[in-house]
Structure 1
Amino acid sequence: MTLRLAKVLLIAAIGLFYTLVVFNNLTDYSSNYEFVHHVLLMDSTFPGNHGMWRAIHPVLAQKIFYDGIIAWEILTTILCWVGYVQLLRAIRKPSEVFERAKRPAVCALTLSLLMWLVAFLTVGAEWFLMWQSKIWNGQEAAFRMFAVVALILILLALPEREMQP
């Protein structure tokens, strides 16, 4: 029961995290848009690098990119909270019921991992050379979130044993 409760609470914690991320991105759109804008412009990468042809200059394209990230975060948030509710409802149920209840949470955590790995560490850091920027470099934060979410996914994926009465 303790391990199940840990799983449920950690999914709620990730749900809370994403709820605040989405809230901040929607209520203070311009703050994080500035980050995406500069990463896509590649305006703080090493002078004279030969990858500048990759930069995206049209503001509309930058906003679509940023809005896509926000939509990704919204979907992750919804799946986290659905997963939390399903896990909470199944917390005292047989193992196979609790295992099935994990599905939305596993999907949420997988979407989260993909966002940090693909959008930030692959596209942002490698394609747009974010790693070259001293100002607009989100690699540490992305890796930190990737590691936290990965650990929670590993814990969640641990198989359930039948609960003793």
Structure 2
Amino acid sequence: MAVRISKTLLVASIGLLAAVIVLNNLTDYNANFQYIQHVLTMDTVLPESRLTWRAIASPQLHQIIYAVIMVIEGAIALLCLGGATALFQAIGEDGVTFNRAKTTATYGLTLAFLFWFVGFMVVAGEWFTMWQSADWNGQQPAFRFIGCVGFVLLYLNLPDHNLET
């Protein structure tokens, strides 16, 4: 039972993280929007960079991309919190039922991993060379999210040798 409770709470924690991120993006829109603008315009990368042809200067596209980011973060929150609810409801059930209850959480955690890895490490970090910016480099926070989410995703889906999960 302890392993099931642990898995449920960790999935809920990732859902809570995503929900708070969405709340922060909505309530402090401009602060986080500036981050998106600087990354997309590549205005703080190394001056000699030969990759700035990739920059997106359109303020309308910045708004759209920021909205898409918030929608994805919202989906992560809903999937993880919904997944945690399903896990909680199945805590006392047999192993097959509990394993089936992992589906929504697995989707949410996978989306979170892909979002922070592909979105922030690959696209922002490498394509828009965010790593070159001293002020607008979000790779370290993204990597922390990836690590936490990856751990929870693996832990959730580990088989339990005590047949508890």
TM-score computed with the length of structure 1 as normaliser: 0.96
- 1:88-141 CA-to-partner distances (Å, cap 9, x unmatched) read 000010000000000010000000000111110000010000010110000101
Structure 1 residue 48: Cα displacement: 2.3
Say whether the 8 Å CA contact 1:44–1:133 is kept in structure 2: yes
2:104 aligned partner: 104
1:49 aligned partner: 49
Say whether the 8 Å CA contact 1:8–1:88 is kept in structure 2: yes
1:68 aligned partner: 68
Runs of 4+ in structure 1 off by over 6 angstroms are none
TM-score computed with the length of structure 2 as normaliser: 0.96
- 1:15-58 CA-to-partner distances (Å, cap 9, x unmatched) read 11111111111111111110010000101100021111100001
1:118 aligned onto 2:125:
no
1:6 aligned partner: 6
Letter paired with 1:124 = A
2:144 aligned partner: 144
Query: Could you say what secondary structure the match of 1:43 adopts?
Result: coil
Which moved further from structure 2: 128-137 or 21-30?
21-30
Percent of aligned pairs with the same amino acid: 42
Say whether the 8 Å CA contact 1:99–1:159 is kept in structure 2: no
Say whether the 8 Å CA contact 1:94–1:162 is kept in structure 2: no
Query: Could you say what secondary structure the match of 2:151 adopts?
Result: helix
Structure 1 residue 158: Cα displacement: 1.0
- 1:54-104 CA-to-partner distances (Å, cap 9, x unmatched) read 000010011111111100001111101110110000001000000000001
1:158 aligned onto 2:158:
yes
Which ranges of structure 2 fall in alignment gaps of 5 or more residues? none
Residue correspondences, number: 163
2:25 aligned partner: 25
Letter paired with 1:23 = L
Query: Could you say what secondary structure the match of 1:91 adopts?
Result: coil
Query: Could you say what secondary structure the match of 1:136 adopts?
Result: coil
